[in-house]
């Protein structure tokens, strides 16, 4: 497997030693990106297709929950995980409510738990992408059917089918 085939993971922590440690532990399973602050992390999210982000909570320029909330707006499919050495439940609640937090992990981390959570996050991202692909295929199929119907001679039945198809496509588009 080449590095471009690996799932993408963005690690964010203001402590370089933590980033170095995580890189050493995860470099074989992920294509890694690192940032030491929220601003740099947001630039990476805008430039790369990030599947999972693991962010420290307590950072000087931007708290992790704030970063994850911004990532949720920029890249809704990215799975967001908060990592902190502090058990401040208010931070976790805020991250859940504003950042669509997938999981919360504490420092020091348990390596098996960390890897398991990251594997589950990648699977969740993949499921979401498969659903999106299926929805696009369904919409394309419906568009093709409507295009075909419009080639048929005009009749009350054809007009009714086209109208119903347009309503269904509008409904489907608003539900996805």
Residues 3-29: what's their mean pLDDT?
93
pLDDT above 90 for 126: yes
Residues 132-136: what's their mean pLDDT?
87
What pLDDT does 21 receive? 94
DSSP per residue, 105-157: EESSPPHHHHHHHHHHHHHHHHHHHHHHHHHHHHHHHHHHHHHHHTTSPP-HH
Count of the separate structural domains present in the chain? 2
Q: Which of 112, 129, 146 is the last residue of a domain?
A: 129
More confident position, 10 or 172 = 10
> Does residue 164 sit in the same domain as residue 106?
no
> Does residue 10 sit in the same domain as residue 79?
yes
pLDDT, one tens digit per residue, over 35-77 is: 999 999 999 999 999 999 999 998 988 999 899 999 999 999 9
Q: What is the pTM of this model?
A: 0.77
Structural domain boundaries, residue 107: 3-129
Kind plus residue range of the DSSP H or E element containing 41: helix 38-47
More confident position, 89 or 22 = 22
> Does residue 95 sit in the same domain as residue 160?
no
Q: Can you give the CATH number for the domain in which 8 is found?
A: 3.40.50.2300
The Cβ of residue 92 has, within 10 Å, a number of other Cβ atoms equal to 17
> Does residue 97 sit in the same domain as residue 158?
no
> Does residue 79 sit in the same domain as residue 31?
yes
> Does residue 85 sit in the same domain as residue 136?
no
> Does residue 101 sit in the same domain as residue 139?
no
What pLDDT does 150 receive? 80
Q: How many helices (H) and strands (E) does the chain have?
A: 6, 5
């Amino acid at each position: 497997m080449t590095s471009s085939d690996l799932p993408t993971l963005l690690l964010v922590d203001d402590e370089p030693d933590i980033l170095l440690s995580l890189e050493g532990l995860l470099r074989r399973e992920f294509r890694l990106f690192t940032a030491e602050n929220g601003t740099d992390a947001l630039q990476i999210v805008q430039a790369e297709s990030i599947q999972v982000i693991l962010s420290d909570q307590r950072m000087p320029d931007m708290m992790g929950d704030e970063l994850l909330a911004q990532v949720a707006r920029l890249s809704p499919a990215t799975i967001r995980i908060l990592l902190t050495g502090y058990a401040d439940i208010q931070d976790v609640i805020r991250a859940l409510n504003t950042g669509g937090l997938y999981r919360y992990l504490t420092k020091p981390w348990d390596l098996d738990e960390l890897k398991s959570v990251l594997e589950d996050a990648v699977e969740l991202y993949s499921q979401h992408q498969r659903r999106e692909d299926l929805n696009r295929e369904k919409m394309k199929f419906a568009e093709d059917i409507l295009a075909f119907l419009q080639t048929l001679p005009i009749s009350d039945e054809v007009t009714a089918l086209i109208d119903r198809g347009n309503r269904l496509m509008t409904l489907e588009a608003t539900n996805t």
